[in-house]
């Protein structure tokens, strides 16, 4: 019985570790022209409900871009252009978040690790997207508007934000992992030593009351670690949002740029929220399936929590090392 609970756990952790290293971390840095940050990303795969939309957009990209550019030029004297901008930004946010950005991976894994509720998962997703938008507005507002900073200086600031963001992601993963393991081992020892009723883990008989326990124990910390996760994901402003703001600023319609970025945030939040809901749902389904078999539910709970925390940690470390290697912009 011990074997059957542990072997798959090891398999699951190994698979998660591999998944984390699927992260494409190489060549993160600037564009071929030496200014403007290129975004890091996890390895994309070729399935998903948006593939038709994506291929259409890829073909029409230059046209869509020109539509956006001309709308931005007209925004100062034509309010209908603002509607076009908001619509395009909303769509960009939805599709961008569906791509290989780090936000949804971190948030989904975080939700696995902490076993948050559906509602909190969605709130966390939207909060992270809004923080990300706010960071872009702050970056451009402070650096471009007030300090008249150069593109290279803004690249540098973005790079520091990236490093802070990825460092925090790794930190959250580490904290979740340590907290989980610290809570696991003493009880494990207790269980094998003397058979304390609430302490058993993989002896095949699960108690109903146990599942609610860790949530109550962790409830106090959850808000703090959730806030940290929101900030970790949001700290790194999205390149697209920065570009929209800078372009709006150049056209003298910074306020329109801010509206556009808020639309991007809402779109991003919607997609990340949907994926977070899927993550919470998948976990719930697995737990319910497992609950039919005695003893499995608890094993699954541990696998999800440890796996999720490990994934967040490895993901953060991989992105962090890539960001540190990529070096400063060269102006």
Partner 1 sequence: MMMQKHGFLRRLLICGLLLAVGVTAPTHKAAAHPHVIVEARAEILFNEKGEVMAVRHLWRFDEAFSSFAKQGLDKDGKYTRETLQPLAEVNVKSLSEFSYFTRMKTGGKRLEFGKPENYWIDHDDKDGTLVLQFTLALAAPLPVAAAPLMIEIGDPEYFVAFEMAKAKPVALLQARAGCEARVREPASLDSAAASQLSRLPSSVRQLPPELSGLTQSLFNVVIVTCS
Which residues ranging from 48 to 67 are in contact with partner 1 (CB under 8 A)?
Answer: 48-51, 53-59, 61-62, 64-65
The answer to whether the beta carbons of residues 137 and 70 sit under 8 Å apart is no
Residue 246 in the binding site for partner 1 (CB under 8 A):
yes
In whole angstroms, give the CA distance from residue 67 to residue 200.
62
In whole angstroms, give the CA distance from residue 106 to residue 108.
6
Nearer to partner 1, 62 or 216 (CB): 62
Q: Which of 21, 26, 80, 196 is the binder for partner 1 (CB under 8 A)?
A: 26
Residue 76 in the binding site for partner 1 (CB under 8 A):
no
- How far, in Å, are 14, 103, 327 from residue 11 at the CA level? 5, 25, 36
In whole angstroms, give the CA distance from residue 67 to residue 214.
52
Residue 250 in the binding site for partner 1 (CB under 8 A):
yes
Minimum distance of partner 1 from residue 6's CB (angstroms): 11
Residue 108 in the binding site for partner 1 (CB under 8 A):
yes
| Dihedral of the alpha carbons of 115, 314, 132, 176, in degrees to the nearest 10 | 40
Closest by Cα among 79, 103, 141 to 319: 103
The answer to whether the beta carbons of residues 109 and 308 sit under 8 Å apart is yes
SS3 110: helix
Nearer to partner 1, 35 or 118 (CB): 35
What DSSP designation does 143 have?
I
* Residue found under tokens 């059957």: 4
Which stretch in 8-16, 156-164, 217-225, 260-268 sits in contact with partner 1 by CB under 8 A? 8-16
Q: Which of 110, 126, 166, 300 is the binder for partner 1 (CB under 8 A)?
A: 300
Q: Which of 17, 24, 171, 184 is the binder for partner 1 (CB under 8 A)?
A: 24
Q: Which of 15, 197, 255, 324 is the binder for partner 1 (CB under 8 A)?
A: 15
Minimum distance of partner 1 from residue 150's CB (angstroms): 4
Nearer to partner 1, 67 or 190 (CB): 67
Nearer to partner 1, 225 or 318 (CB): 318
Minimum distance of partner 1 from residue 116's CB (angstroms): 14
Task: Give residues 263-282 in contact with partner 1 (rule: CB under 8 A).
Answer: 275, 278-279, 282
The answer to whether the beta carbons of residues 331 and 150 sit under 8 Å apart is yes
């Amino acid at each position: 019985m011990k074997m059957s609970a542990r072997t798959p756990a090891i398999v699951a952790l190994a698979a998660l570790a591999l998944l984390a290293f699927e992260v494409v971390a190489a060549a993160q840095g600037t564009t071929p022209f030496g200014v403007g940050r290129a975004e890091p990303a996890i390895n994309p795969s070729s399935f998903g409900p948006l593939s038709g939309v994506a291929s259409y957009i890829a073909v029409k990209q230059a046209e869509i871009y020109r539509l956006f550019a001309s709308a931005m030029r007209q925004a100062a004297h034509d309010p209908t252009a603002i509607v076009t901008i908001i619509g395009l930004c909303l769509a960009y946010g939805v599709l961008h978040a569906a791509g290989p950005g780090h936000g949804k991976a971190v948030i989904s894994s975080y939700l696995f690790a902490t076993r948050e509720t559906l509602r909190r998962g969605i709130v966390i997703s939207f909060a992270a997207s809004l923080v990300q938008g706010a960071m872009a507005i702050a970056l451009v507002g402070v650096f471009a508007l007030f300090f008249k900073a150069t593109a290279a200086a803004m690249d540098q600031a973005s790079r520091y934000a990236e490093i802070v963001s990825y460092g925090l992601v790794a930190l959250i993963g580490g904290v979740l992992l340590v907290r989980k393991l610290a809570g696991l081992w003493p009880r494990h020892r207790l269980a094998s030593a003397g058979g304390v009723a609430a302490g058993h883990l993989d002896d095949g008989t699960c108690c109903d009351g146990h599942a609610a326990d860790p949530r109550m124990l962790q409830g106090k910390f959850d808000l703090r670690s959730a806030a940290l996760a929101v900030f970790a994901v949001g700290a790194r402003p999205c390149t697209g949002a920065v570009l929209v703001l800078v372009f709006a600023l150049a056209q003298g319609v910074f306020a329109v740029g801010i509206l556009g970025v808020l639309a991007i945030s809402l779109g991003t939040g919607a997609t990340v929220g949907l994926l977070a809901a899927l993550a919470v749902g998948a976990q719930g389904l697995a737990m319910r399936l497992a609950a039919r078999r005695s003893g499995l539910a608890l094993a699954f709970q541990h696998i999800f929590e440890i796996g999720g925390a490990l994934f967040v940690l490895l993901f953060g470390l991989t992105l962090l090392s890539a960001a540190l290697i990529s070096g400063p912009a060269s102006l």
